[in-house]
A and B are shown apart, each in its own frame.
Chain A
């Protein structure tokens, strides 16, 4: 068809035709979101009488699916173990006090607005008692008003930028003081004082880098660069050139998702090596290393609570069970472990409520989750009863040629979480009364908070 034909065709579309076509477009869009982003109450196993409904909200399609799918896998493994009396749940009987968990799975398609709608649906229509889900801070911020307004509970398994303390969220990933606080002094001592900060362009990397930069400057280091790239970008020529020009001692990366393998590959391709300018990263885990090829990551570092190489009997069992269920070529990582342990925090809390003859609702589950302890793959962890974050280990791993981490730094026990970055907000803590009155939890102590470790009881 020639150009002329095309222009007459486009001009020749009447208003009615336009309405017809555009409604077709809208219709197929809705259809796509229904098929791609549907809900399903999986009933592949026999659930018995009176199952407990729990929402599982991770995107299995769209740009974040790469990460969230593995969180969903870890959650499914934990739920299966709880329902079948296996793994860490062995000895507790099938389900929770005889009641199995029925998972209500939704897929928000990596769309922040859909997270909001889907959480409303889970709470209002499916009447779940609580929800396990979300990955990015953008999605958490999107659902937070829903959980607060409807007073329901979200278990959120991701390391995040902190500076938040809701009585409707249990934050089982790392708070800033469990990931950033130890890694920055480590970088300065081992690599040098000049840091170059990169990240994806959204809430978490920017906030996380803001804290990290403040921590570096506090201990006498220097920020020689601070660059962001749009979420999902795989072109890093410019940022890498700026790194070369700034000549930092180390690069701190908060790039997420698809961007990670592309960045490490182009980094090495451009002639930057890990022995001269190592990358310290937070979101780069075993999964991303596997995807980029370990030769690109060897010698770089990640700061996380958990690595697949952590030596505990619980971890050996977790890795084995995970591979048995999802395939031998899969790896486990820190976010997956957090998704796994939070499911047990939830199950233990429910068990405590049901044992006391209570009824499962937001209030009872919230109070019962506070202070739960669990012998996790990373070691003994606990939900802080005051700020609803978790006591977690802080570790730094150096990537080896086999794609696994050599742990070069670890705290002796799980570190008490502090919700607010103490460098940016000195002395600010979050303390909730028992029972939770949902009043403002922020207290300014004005004191320099000491690092506290979880004591074994």
Chain B
């Protein structure tokens, strides 16, 4: 009996001790969650282009990752030839990947509207071709992209007892999320508040009717697809200096971008933000508590279960029949 009491006391003591270490790691956990915003930014940035090509146009674009890669290579090329700053290459990377996107739409996608399976195969093939072409031009070696020197350092939100940063996030990560949200807002504005956006939505909702009303549907299709690809290009540029630039790099983002878009739902652009936030923070949290490979498995499994029960995504309004 006494022994039991004693062991109970001992356990309680241990629990208190644990709590103090827990309190300590609570700061670390919140640091992890703050940094999870960095992952959210990248997911949002890479998912945004897909939200246009898939969400608005319903094109299953498996070459999306390669457009991100193209954006990164545009930046690499402009930096190494003209010595341009990374930020200055953003508009060029948008225009060049957008132009390539327009070309792809004209030559391939246009012929496959309404045939999702063929589109899937064609864009998959396209991704192999684009990787091959980039490898022929730039070789398979990893490429160096210089990051903007004025965006460096960390924003410290909380310091620990020794005065070293306990909760901090790097300015570049903040910059990424800023770009991502700015693009999201811009895209939302374009789609909802401009004539062009209205036409885009009209075409996607009822192509024939839109055509009858005098909308140049094929031009709208091309512009929309090009815009989606251009966004992917900007994503490639912005993340190129934080990550690695190589021909297969896009594959890494393709799955994540798809997960983001599918989770958030594609009817509303805000769904992409919600999806990015959910996936970014949950994978960051799980990775902190367990480890990276396990977090990936758990998040992927959760997305599969989600698609099974809510195929239209979490954040969709009731669709009309």
Mark A residues whose CB is within 8 Å of B: 1-6, 9-10, 13, 21, 24-25, 28, 32, 36, 60-63, 65-66, 69-70, 201, 227-230, 232-235, 237-239, 241-242, 244-245, 258-262, 265-266, 269-271, 287-288, 290-293
CB pair A233 B252 closer than 8 Å: yes
* Other-chain contact of B204, A2, A9, A201, A238 (Cβ < 8 Å): A2
**CB–CB B249/A258 < 8 A:** yes
**Closest beta carbon of chain A to B272's beta carbon, Å:** 17
Interface residues of B in 128-143 (CB under 8 A from A): 128, 131-132, 135, 139-143
A2, B142: Cα distance in complex, Å: 41
A32 near B140: Cβ-Cβ < 8 Å: no
**Contact status B114-A5, CB under 8 Å:** yes
Which of B117, B139, B147, B154 lies in contact with A271, CB distance below 8 A? B154
**Residue B288 at the chain A interface, CB threshold 8 Å:** yes
Residues in chain A near residue B115, CB distance under 8 A: 9
Q: Is B181 an interface position by the 8 A CB rule?
A: no
Q: Is the Cβ of A3 less than 8 Å from the Cβ of B319?
A: yes
A21 to B306 alpha-carbon distance, docked (Å): 27
Whether A230 lies near B293 (C-beta < 8 A) is yes
How many residue pairs bridge A and B at CB < 8 Å?
152
Closest CB of chain B to A281's CB: distance in Å?
A: 15
Q: Nearest Cβ in chain A — how far from B144, in angstroms?
A: 5
Complex alpha-carbon distance, A409 and B256, angstroms: 43
State how many angstroms separate the Cβ of B145 from the closest Cβ of chain A.
Answer: 8
Contact indicator A261/B204 (Cβ below 8 Å) = no
Interchain CB contact under 8 A, B292 and A228: yes
Interface string of B171-184 (1 = CB under 8 A from A): 01100000000000
Asked if residues A291 and B142 are in contact (CB atoms below 8 Å), the reply is yes
Question: Does B291 belong to the interface (CB within 8 Å)?
Answer: yes
Say yes or no for B31: interface residue by CB 8 A criterion. Answer: yes
Which residues in B have their C-beta under 8 angstroms from that of A266? 242
The reply on B296 being an interface residue by CB < 8 A is yes
Question: Once the chains bind, are A262 and B242 in contact (CB under 8 Å)?
Answer: yes
Knowing A6-B58, A232-B252, say if A65 contacts B292 (CB, 8 Å): no
Partner of B114, one of A1, A36, A288: A1
Identify 16 new A-B residue pairs, CB closer than 8 A, beyond the known A28-B124, A237-B35, A271-B170: A1-B204, A2-B206, A5-B114, A36-B132, A62-B248, A65-B247, A201-B292, A230-B293, A262-B242, A265-B241, A269-B172, A269-B173, A270-B154, A287-B141, A287-B142, A291-B144
Q: Which among B10-18, B36-44, B96-104, B185-193 touches the partner chain?
A: B36-44
Residues of B with C-beta under 8 A to A2: 204-206
Given contacts A25-B121, A28-B125, A258-B244, contact A66 B152 (CB under 8 A): no
Find out whether the CB atom of B28 lies under 8 angstroms from the CB atom of A245: yes
Residues of chain A lying within 8 A (CB to CB) of residue B284: 237-238
